[in-house]
């Protein structure tokens, strides 16, 4: 396949995914049909089925792409940052911003997750778990680096990573599921204060 045809194929696939994402975010997974995706993307159903087996496959692809994009974004964000403290702050800020910018899409995964678990292929959960574990290990490595440099206390870096990422995930889940009025980024300074400063007064 020559470069022009490959670019055309990639463009069509991305247009279909973009249309499906808008529909999933607006109507939800179960209320969106392949015919809806065809209408919004302006591609015939036959063309869409050349790329995807059905809307489950489309949603699976979107989730995978979001997970991959998140990892790439986080790694690039700290590439030129020297101190571990600055790296952790940037990771937290980018984490919250990413889900803030994709709130409508991830709302589907939270609100319809029980049904989706049955409908979507089982390997979706496996892939998400794999990417989450990769992210935990990524944060763990940064904290381990901080311990070696004397910037981070000598505690289990894996447990610290789990606490940090778990805190971010919990804040994100609550913000998406409960329709909290504040922006997700409003929680950043609070989270940093708790993670870096603790919750107890030093002389208590």
Q: Please report which confidence band the pLDDT of residue 26 belongs to, taking 50, 70 and 90 as the band edges.
A: confident
Question: What percent of the chain lies above the pLDDT cut of 90?
Answer: 48
Domain presence at residue 152: yes
Q: What is the pLDDT, as a whole number, of residue 111?
A: 60
Which CATH number do you get for residue 7? 1.10.10.60
183 and 99 within one domain = yes
Q: Using a pLDDT cut of 70, give the percent of the chain over it.
A: 88
> Which residues, 6 or more positions from 70, have their beta carbon under 8 angstroms from its beta carbon?
98, 131, 135
Tell whether 26 and 79 lie within a shared domain. no
Indicate the number of domains in the chain. 2
Task: Identify whether the C-beta of residue 74 lies closer than 8 Å to the C-beta of residue 91.
Answer: yes
Confidence of residue 121 (pLDDT cuts 50, 70, 90): low
- The alpha-helical segments, DSSP class H, found in 102-122 are 103-111, 113-119
Spatial CA neighbour of 51 closest among 22, 23, 10: 10
pTM of the model: 0.80
Lowest-confidence region among 29-33, 72-76, 187-191: 187-191
Q: Could you tell me if 48 and 58 lie in one domain?
A: no
Residue 59, domain member (yes or no): yes
Same domain, 60 and 47: no
Contact call for residues 15 and 39 (beta carbons, < 8 A): no
| Domain housing 125 | 54-197
pLDDT band at 119 (very low <50, low <70, confident <90, very high): low
Q: Is the pLDDT of residue 101 over 70?
A: yes
Contact present, 34 and 55 (Cβ < 8 Å): yes
Predicted confidence at residue 124, as pLDDT, reads 58
HEC assignment per residue over 124-172: HHHHHHHHHHHHHHHHHHHHHHHHHHCCCCCCCHHHHHHHHHHHHHHHH
pLDDT of residue 33: 95
Tell me which of 55 and 115 has the higher pLDDT.
Answer: 55
Write the pLDDT tens digit of every residue in 129-154. 888 899 999 999 999 999 999 999 99
> In this structure, is residue 141 part of a structural domain?
yes
Q: Is 180 helix (H, G, I), strand (E, B) or coil?
A: coil
* Element spanning 96, H or E: helix 84-101
- For residue 187, what pLDDT is reported? 82
Is 204 part of a structural domain of the chain? no
Q: What is the mean pLDDT of the chain?
A: 85
**Tokens read off for 45:** 């159903």
């Amino acid at each position: 396949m020559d470069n022009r045809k490959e670019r055309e194929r990639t463009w069509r696939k991305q247009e279909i995914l973009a249309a499906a994402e808008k529909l999933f975010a607006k109507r939800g997974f179960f209320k969106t049909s392949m015919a809806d995706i065809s209408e919004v993307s302006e591609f015939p159903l036959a063309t869409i089925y050349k790329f995807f087996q059905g809307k489950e496959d489309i949603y699976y692809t979107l989730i995978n792409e979001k997970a991959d994009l998140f990892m790439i974004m986080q790694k690039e964000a700290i590439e030129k940052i020297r101190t571990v403290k600055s790296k952790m702050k940037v990771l937290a800020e980018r984490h919250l911003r990413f889900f803030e910018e994709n709130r409508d899409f991830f709302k589907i995964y939270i609100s319809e997750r029980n049904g989706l678990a049955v409908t979507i292929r089982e390997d979706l959960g496996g892939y998400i778990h794999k990417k989450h574990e990769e992210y935990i290990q990524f944060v763990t490595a940064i904290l381990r680096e901080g311990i070696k440099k004397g910037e981070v206390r000598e505690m289990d870096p894996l447990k610290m990573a789990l606490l940090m990422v778990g805190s971010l995930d919990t804040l994100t889940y609550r913000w998406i599921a409960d329709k909290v009025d504040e922006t997700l980024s409003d929680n950043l300074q609070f989270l940093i204060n708790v993670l870096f400063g603790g919750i107890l007064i030093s002389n208590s």
